[in-house]
Amino acid sequence: MNIAFVSSEAFPFAKVGGLGDITGALPKALDKLGHKVKVFIPKYSLINFNNHKLEYVAEVGEMPIRVNGKSYVTRLFKSYLPGSFVDIYFVDCPHFFHRKDHTGNDVIYTNHQDEDERYVLFSKAVIEAIQRMKWLPDIINCNDWQTGLLPLLLRDNYSWDRFLDPVATAFSIHNIGYQGRFPKSLMLKAEIRAELFYPNSPIEIMGTVCFMKAGLMYSDVINTVSPTYAAEIMTSDYGEGLEGVLSYRVNDFYGILNGIDTEVWNPETDKMIPVNYNINSLEGKYENKKHLLNSMNLPHYKNTPVIGMISRMVGQKGFDIFAESVYDLMRLPVQWVILGSGEDRYENLFRSLQQMFPDRIATWFGKNEQLAHLIEAGSDMFLMPSLYEPCGLNQMYSLIYGTVPIVRKTGGLADTVKDWDEYSYRGDFSGNGFSFYDYSAFALFKSVERAVNAFYNHDVWIQIVKNGMISDFSWENSAQTYLKMYESAINKRRG
């Protein structure tokens, strides 16, 4: 099968969150199963190509792409996903993809006026590049709102090209909280037919053009990244206004759990941690704990558990209930290592906690890939109290690194973390973490307290740690399910 995988992020080139990890990993798994995958992302100024060979794709040449009435010269560059022969193509248009934030740092996403135009150009450029390469994908897998218009453009603006007729489309939701809703003026900027915009049309929501709705309505099949999140977003509690659209498309809607890239995330081979270890050499994990505490300037106490968090500091990730329970949490005999950045109110909370408890909590603000690995390897527990979590990767990294996750039972967290049942008399010793259901400060605190109590029972703790470490989250199974979904899309398209 020929598969075009279109995304706004790809690890290790450009990553903000889980979407980057998935774009860097799923195509490699599909490739290993014998399929030809080409990945497309924008060529952001943020990408550092130092360790990657980059070639100009001369056969595509200069593509004039029109957005908002102006024509922009767009080129294509090619490299490989590291450790594979999967082609990754970079759509180059400096006007749109060389962007900085207000502090002068290069960024992927912006809050600039033309954020919509940036991804209109990207989608059109991918279609035109495919035309010029004369490479016929059986399926184009679009991801998240940034690529939501592509299936519509393919079926409407580019429908004159019969070459593209048999190409099926899939649209993957990685987070329904970000839908790409823009003013109606986008219709003109993107040159989408005006007739397609009317109340409740396949691209309209609350008077705006919604990229994600277009992706969901114009693709042959759609999916999201865990079975529980798939069920949740068909309800008004989680669907963010798109629950009706998903229910309408329920027969073509799949929930496929993400895998993890075990070449990058594996405690036995991880090059970013000081000491490699496995289920039979957990002493190595305790060495990493010392390194972690040392690097964060925290003292090392032998019997105090360390809880890690790595997260965008936004409401979705549960920081409001964390803030509410913080003074109870700080009464527990625990050290905290936090990595992330985001909203000021949460960053300020951690700044003041650090001042109040300098030997108990340390925070690194910003992105730090190496520290993320060290936190997974060196912490005893990992907290993810998310309000919602489409799949979540860190709880899976935690499980295989022997770091016991404490999570809210939602989305992919519910699909991967099995609550340890300390009251069970039936002898179920298969739990691999701690979870709570109510989105409340009290429930969060109680789960952390349960985990801390379990930590002091050495045999119980080792059992929970090992239950996590034997998990298999490799991409192969999920890639097989993606292939089945692609096949059904292709069958639909070709009748």
Residue in the shown chain whose Cβ atom is closest to ligand ADP = 18
Among 98, 367, 484, 492, binds ligand ADP (CB under 6 A): 367
Phi, psi dihedrals of residue 441, rounded to the nearest 5°: -60, -40
**Rounded to whole angstroms, how far apart are CA atoms 295 and 337?**
10
Strands (E) across 329-450 are located at 335-342, 361-365, 381-384, 404-408, 434-436
Specify the stretch interacting with ligand ADP by CB under 6 A; choose among 320-328, 388-396, 420-428, 458-466. 388-396
The reply to whether 340 sits near ligand ADP by the rule CB under 6 A is: yes
Stretch that binds ligand ADP, among 75-83, 158-166, 389-397, 448-456 (CB under 6 A): 389-397
Task: By CB under 6 A, tell whether 232 contacts ligand ADP.
Answer: no
Instruction: Choose the stretch contacting ligand ADP; rule: CB under 6 A; options: 16-24, 241-249, 330-338, 457-465.
Output: 16-24
Q: What is the DSSP letter of 390?
A: S
User: Does the N-terminal peptide bond of residue 390 adopt cis geometry, omega within 30 degrees of 0?
Assistant: no
Indicate whether 383 belongs to the interface with ligand ADP (CB under 6 A): no
Give the residue, chosen from 36, 300, 312, 450, that forms a contact with ligand ADP under the rule CB under 6 A: 312
Q: Which is closer to ligand ADP, CB of 316 or CB of 467?
A: 316
Q: Distance between CA 335 and CA 333 in Å, rounded? A: 7
# chain residues binding ligand ADP, by CB under 6 A: 16
In the chain, what is the straight-line distance between the N-terminal and C-terminal CA atoms, in Å?
17
DSSP letter at 65 equals E
> CA-CA distance, 466 to 492, in Å (whole number)?
44
Least spacing, CB of residue 373 vs ligand ADP, in Å:
8
Considering only residues 310, 321, 444, 490, which one is a binding residue for ligand ADP as defined by CB under 6 A?
Answer: 310
Q: Does 17 bind ligand ADP (CB under 6 A)?
A: yes
Distance of CA 269 to the CA centre of its chain: 23
Q: Is 394 in the site for ligand ADP (CB under 6 A)?
A: yes
User: 10 Å Cβ neighbour count for 495?
Assistant: 4
105-124 residues in contact with ligand ADP (CB under 6 A) are none
Do residues 96 and 118 touch, judged by C-beta distance below 8 A?
yes
Least Cβ distance, residue 492 to ligand ADP (angstroms): 29
Distance of alpha carbon 157 from alpha carbon 140, whole angstroms: 16
Query: Tokens standing for 224?
Result: 């999201």
Compare residues 374 and 451 and give the one whose CB is closer to ligand ADP: 374
Of positions 21, 220, 270, 415, contacts ligand ADP by CB under 6 A:
21
What's the CA gap between 484 and 30, in Å, rounded?
Answer: 12
Closer Cβ to ligand ADP, 12 or 274, answer by number: 12
Using CB under 6 A as the criterion, which residues of the chain lie in contact with ligand ADP when the complex forms? 17-18, 21, 310-312, 339-340, 367-369, 372, 391-394
